[in-house]
A and B are shown apart, each in its own frame.
Chain A
Amino acid sequence: MPAAVSSGGSFEQPDAAQDGPLSLLSPEDRELVEHLRSGDERTFLSLVEKNHRAMVRAAMGFVASEAVAEEVVQEAWVGILQGLAKFEGRCPLRAWMFRILINCAKMRGGREARSVPFSALETEDAEGERRAVESFRPPDDPRWPGHWAKGPERWADERLADAEALVRIKAEIERLPPNQRQVITLRDIEDWDSAEVCEALGISEANQRVLLHRARTKVRQALAGWAAEVTP
């Protein structure tokens, strides 16, 4: 391993690539790659455990079913292993893996376009309507323009703790357009930080926040009617 790497912060230096392969990576990622290349099964399994589900969720926006998404992710893992020898570490390992995944998913999605159910192709149009539980006053309201006409009903906290909440969240995330689904999956389910998500999906921070916000708004909305306290 090149000595320059241990001086710290090498991963921000623009010319660090000259220090040798993988020198741009964080020490953790570099170790992962080295272990994988040497055929370490435990490292591979822990990478699978950490990322497989997120990959399936991210792939589902492009294909017709969870079963097909599983196949796409299998394909992506093979692609990742095949690419590993040539991986230069210009971006974090996870981000690189997700780029491969999204390429596989897009290719498969293109082949299967006709079999994708209509709901998966839905775009932003319905957004306004889906906030129907609450409503705002019109912009020309004399006293409170744009303020709540009917505010959100209080949620019963115990409902959110229920398994049913997760079923509803999952179903709503599956209905989101692919880009919103990928962002909310990585940010809110998998707890990635925003820089890494931008890197993996090739989007700007601002764009990422817009997609995340739309996705969260819809998921909150999907819970709203159901989670509200029932008044006796």
Chain B
Amino acid sequence: MFDVTIIGTGIVGCAIARELSKYKLSICVVDKDTDVANGTTKANSAIVHAGFDAKTGSLKGKLNAIGNAMFDKLSEDLDFHFKRIGSLVLCFDGKDINKLHELKEQGIKNGVPKLEILDRDKLSEMEPNISKDVVAALYAPTGGIVCPYEMTIALAENAHTNGVEFNFEREVTNIEKVENSYAIKTNKGDIETKIVINAAGLFADEINNMISKNEIHIMPRKGEYCLFDKSVGNMISKTIFQLPNKMGKGVLVTPTVDGNLLIGPNAMEVEDKNDLTTTTEGIDEILSKASLSIKQVPVRQVITSFSGLRAHSTNNDFIIGEQIDAENFINAAGIESPGLSSAPAIAEMIRDIVVDKLQPKKNDKFNPIRKGIPKFREMNNEERKGLIAKDSRYGKMICRCETVTEGEIINAIRRPLGAKTLDGIKRRTRAGMGRCQSGFCAPKIVEILARELNLKPTEVTKFGGNSNILVGKDKETI
């Protein structure tokens, strides 16, 4: 019997797991996928919003600024990248400036510090590549960028180190109330638990509706993105939003924490919760909308496009708390933007509920510190020499675009909750994320994965399931 079982290993599930590992609780986390961060967390804008956007009084409005303020400490303790680069909301029409002021007022009510309206001159100075049509902007210095899967991996590893049990490829098929506990039915047997926390992202409605008559509905809402080569990553220095107008919500243009340029997303309701396809129309739409914000969209520098699905709840706000008709079943559902920014605050909110119910003691052995994989590309030559002297595999280059060594890849496989797939390696080391998009390193990484995990090369997958990279040996079918 576990004290707490968390369903879902996205940013929210992992933040909760890590937060609860500060207490003497037996905690289990389950996920249907092979790795953490495989749903909404893996594909979004990767923005830590300042917090002026959501309606005051909503959970989104309340938790965003609180969560935002927690990132500095978290990134330091858990060794993930976070840059507080600031954000701008661009206004293209003098008649709309009052809307900037409204946003600013809302931000102040939401607890966002240091908001400022900037005129054209100040903007040009700040962002020389911004479009000539911009007349003013709302500047939020606390806005930031982060890598959502890097952060989630860090949270999960730290939770794991502090005693949380992780179960992958374990799909929840039903939840049953048993006396004072729950039996979570899965494809790999039952899990008995006192408390269930539903952090199942796009599937949080299905989980909730297994146990509660108070149904919720999650609509997958697709957003498409284009990612650009690092050579244009410094075109702008801040996250640039567009003031919503009659043309719609607009798209953002932002540097990523790894130094690329990212634009997107659009928004489209889709039926299928696995529909991560991109469309010509969608990509055209975001490219054309982005051209309003910056002088020239460097279309020739696109290295990949992708889409993500927002877990949009039909009541338009986060659903956080104990379900009214299911005692000890706690939702962290409907977590869409600003979900990433709010995640640390959501975790604390859930913690308060759990602590209130179970009154656990503090875990004196809790270690808040997690060290990431050494990053060759970020080191100076002296540090590199030291690393190679200790382990020569850090001198063997595997991914030339992102400068990732064999040492880093082996570390990614062998560390707690280590990588099992090509995407797992990619998200832990960035191997395959560069301008050649894994053309050169994929064969080498397949080989390393096979060797380290004692698999046949044909058993290595991109992201689990039937996503095998290779289907057989040469001439096998002749």
A binds B: no
Interface residue ranges, B against A (CB under 8 Å)? none
